[in-house]
A and B are shown apart, each in its own frame.
Chain A
Amino acid sequence: MKNSHDDIENLLRSATEVPFTEGQKQRILRAAIALKEEPRRRPRPFVRSWLAGVGGVAAALILAVSIWRVGVPGMTGHTNRLGGQTTASKTTGSNSVVPIEPGSAIGLQTAPLQVTEIGLASKTPGGPEDEVVATIYNGGSTPISKKDVVGVLGFGSGQTLGAGVMPTSDWLTFVNGPDTPLQPGQRTQWTFVPVTAPKDSKGNLIETPQLVFYDNAVMVASKANMTWQLADVTTTVTGVSVVPYGTNGQTTSVQISVQNAGSVPVDLNRVVAVVWFTPPNTATDFLRPNVTRFLTHVKTVGIQAILQPGAKETLTFTLTGAADKTLMNDVPHVVFANTNP
């Protein structure tokens, strides 16, 4: 067959168009609104004021072997700092800090900060149910302040907290404790606006919130009442960039290469990623005070969700939170924990 110039041009113009759907537009708008509004959230007592997770490119994790490198393709924003290879266990130089090793189990101890009621509310009169409101109670014998605890807030269809929030949650984030110290026997209201949690078209949160607070340090698994089993994978952080947002916020992109170092497949749909940043040469874990931490599921669209032994995958996390001027000087770590220990 002979193809004339016009035939070819007509043929080229007849290609099937890849749709840009209304659903995708709405997802992008929600992510953009989250970026826009989060740093400007009005001051509220007991509100945890950072957010996590913009949809986009996304990702997964397991324990951290970190290489902090300059010039990652596609990363924009501040120049990354050069740094050496670091493992999480090497950063935990203090005897009091439990090493975090791929394939190991770590312990979390439930704090005496109890959640007695939890539900949804509207942050604006007449608006959608977009805010989590909980009543928290100090069941211990000493005051509890923000630095003493780390909360895990999840959304899922179930309400079983016996094994923690992770197994029944579709969406997760770390949250802070009360902004002001809570005395023993005292209770107060705690609120949080999870801007990227699953919502319906009207902006109503559509799943059941679950919240638990843990003490502010990782423990040896046998000495804690909650165990997180870390997936046996190694990760290499290949790039981190920060894009300032507004006056109080920033979006952090963390790109990693993850490799299954074990002998069994790892399902990235069944792990959650902990991404945290620590000051250089500081022995600390992701629950410690003054650590910038993120908790997220792995987005597996477009990647191999089942990581066979020895297999590698590249993942990118896009995480938005309060501005942290020191973050680009800090050492990044990534760990993957199984959601069904």
Chain B
Amino acid sequence: MPGEFDPHNQVGLLELWMEQYGTDVTNFAFSYVKNYHQAQDIAQDVFLRAFLKADSFRGESTVKTWLLSITANRCRDFLRSWHARHEVYELEDEIPRAGPDNTERAVLERLEQDRVWKVVFELPLKYREVLVLFYFRDLSTKEISETLGVSDEAVRTRLHRGRLLVKERLESEPHEELT
């Protein structure tokens, strides 16, 4: 059962966690770092840290919020790093212009062209976090509160303001006015 730690089957548990929450962790990391490969690296780091610390997981939160909480911390650390503060990621920079991995290229191209991600990336981080967890990953406000370590009320406020900001940005898009 997810959330229960079996010390005799740590690898099996890790595999289960990845199957169930790998996409959640990767997408949440992507929403911070705006870079597919960096998000992959952070996801790997998150799962290995969880694997090493599995016996310290006390079940006070769900595995999902525990993993996403680790993800948030790792991403914040990354954003504070020298590299993140001095390098600007652009999705198009990531797209391999040649190479055999057409699947990866297709994913990167879809992400580059995705209007929703573009809008979300323009939001301040505190709104981006809650919108991604609520709308993209289907967490409740209580789960988001546990993940981010803020009150449920703060989560609801940020959701409301985040939605307003998204609306403002969508309405300011020139091509939207034409459609």
Contacts and interface: CB of A to CB of B under 8 A. Distances in A.
Interface string B159-179: 000010011001100001101
Contact of B83 (A2, A29, A58, A313): A313
The B interface is mostly helix, strand or loop, or mixed, namely helix
B43 interface: yes
Given A1-B171, A32-B11, A32-B47, A74 B87 contact: no
Nearest to A304: B87
Given A8-B163, A36-B10, A28 B131 contact: no
A32 B51 CA distance: 7
Interface stretch (A12-20, A161-169, A227-235): A12-20
Contact of A18 (B36, B80, B82, B177): B36
Interface residues of A, number: 46
Contacts of B78: 74
Nearest to A246: B52
Contacts of B35: 302
Chain B interface extent, by class:
35 or more
Given A13-B136, A312-B82, A27 B171 contact: no
B111 A16 contact: yes
Contacts of B176: 1
B100 to A, nearest CB: 13
A18 B83 CA distance: 22
B44 interface: yes
10 contacts: A11-B116, A14-B116, A18-B30, A20-B22, A20-B25, A20-B43, A24-B22, A28-B18, A36-B10, A318-B45
Given A3-B167, A17-B27, 5 more contacts: A8-B170, A12-B116, A14-B116, A55-B44, A312-B86
Interface of A: 1-3, 5, 8-9, 11-20, 24-25, 27-29, 31-33, 35-36, 54-58, 73-74, 76, 243, 245, 251, 257, 301-304, 312-314, 318
